[in-house]
Amino acid sequence: MAGSTVLLAKRALVKLLLQLALAYNVVVSINRDADNAKVTAAFRKIVLKVHPDKGGKLEDSQALQSAKSVWDKAQRDAASNKKKGGRPKEAHNQGGRKAPKQTGETIATDLADPAQTKKQYRIQSYFVLLTYHGFADLDEWRRFCDHVAENLGPWGVKHWCATLEATKKGKLHVHCALQLQSESTRTEMCSVRLQSPIGGIASACQNRAAPIQ
């Protein structure tokens, strides 16, 4: 999970870097699979161009800094988890029971119907990276961006960025990174209720402020 978080944050940053490079006429040689050193070098090159003191737009500078912060934090968290060696052997799940023991490649655990079960999670973070699938076209993508922009205040979001990407089969999906105004620590009831990308972002973000009924 940590690896995928780092990868998604990196791809979101690369996407934004390419967009800003085109807008500010900056030549960079990166893609979503570029190594970290090349991505960092491209960031340092573009961040100077978009800085307001250099004639850039404040919102572009803030979005770029936010995307870089999300990637940096994801890398730090992944490195920290690697040093800790994963979860403790006697880790407990949210229900108070011991985590299932692993023997060889087989893990024994109890399964529950997600439609009939709600699980409780403790959330503590400054950053949230969300992924949404099922976008039909660019019009829906634009409505998504408008919806997020209109609700930054109520959700307590300081900076944000989002990228629209397509799989090899042409299916559209969105990665949305949010930097919060302050650290959020809550215990939430999580259930499957994201029906659409437009409704989904509202449900996911509003869970910070109030439990799902």
Residue 20's pLDDT is 96
Residue 90's pLDDT is 44
Domain of 15 in residue numbering reads as 2-79
Assess whether 13 and 64 both reside in one domain. Answer: yes
Q: What is the mean pLDDT of residues 54-77?
A: 94
Assess whether 124 and 201 both reside in one domain. Answer: yes
Assess whether 185 and 128 both reside in one domain. Answer: yes
Residue 22 lies in a domain: yes
pLDDT in tens, 166-180: 887 778 888 888 888
Instruction: Answer with the one of 79, 104, 135 that is the final residue of a domain.
Output: 79
CB neighbours of 6 closer than 8 A, spacing ≥ 6? 71, 74, 75, 78
Assess whether 65 and 132 both reside in one domain. Answer: no
Q: Judge whether 198 and 144 are in contact, CB under 8 Å.
A: yes
Assess whether 134 and 202 both reside in one domain. Answer: yes
CB neighbours of 5 closer than 8 A, spacing ≥ 6? 74, 77, 78, 129
Assess whether 199 and 142 both reside in one domain. Answer: yes
